[in-house]
Amino acid sequence: MTDQAIYHICRREEWESAQAAGSYAGSSQDRADGFIHFSAAEQVVASAAKHRAGQSDLVLIAADVAALGSVLRWEASHGGALFPHLYGPLPLTAVRWTKPLPLGADGRHVFPSLDGS
């Protein structure tokens, strides 16, 4: 699907540094794993709850699958679900949009519409 987007969550300051550098190399955890962790639309809320619970000052990044080419691979997680992994930096030209990912009163992240609106 050429119009598909995938999603990544990072700290706002990491994203600001990426904008200054011209690409995003991933978080310290991404770099330790050797790839940038992404989620599909149906996975991103659960991923945030599992890996970013209670964290504030985050941004949600939507990236264009077609723009990422062969460095994007869909690989099985420990539970068997396929997750998108980017084996290289994320070029800013592949980013559709970024939005703040605030915490709600219940301590869970409040997600914007994933269609970009």
Domains of the chain (ranges; CATH) run 5-101 (3.20.170.20)
End-to-end CA distance of the chain: 20
d(CA 37, CA 70): 15
d(CA 108, CA 13): 20
Query: How many CA atoms within 13 Å lie on the side-chain side of 27?
Result: 15
pLDDT at residue 1, rounded to an integer:
41
To the nearest whole percent, how much of the chain has pLDDT over 90? 85
Tokens 């991933």 belong to: 26
pLDDT(2) > 50: no
The reply to whether the predicted model has a pTM over 0.95 is: no
pLDDT at residue 77, rounded to an integer:
87
pLDDT at residue 29, rounded to an integer:
87
Pairing of strands 23-24, 95-101: unpaired
pLDDT(74) > 60: yes
pLDDT(76) > 60: yes
**CB of 9 within 8 A of CB of 56?**
no
Interval 88-107: pLDDT, tens:
999 999 999 999 999 999 99
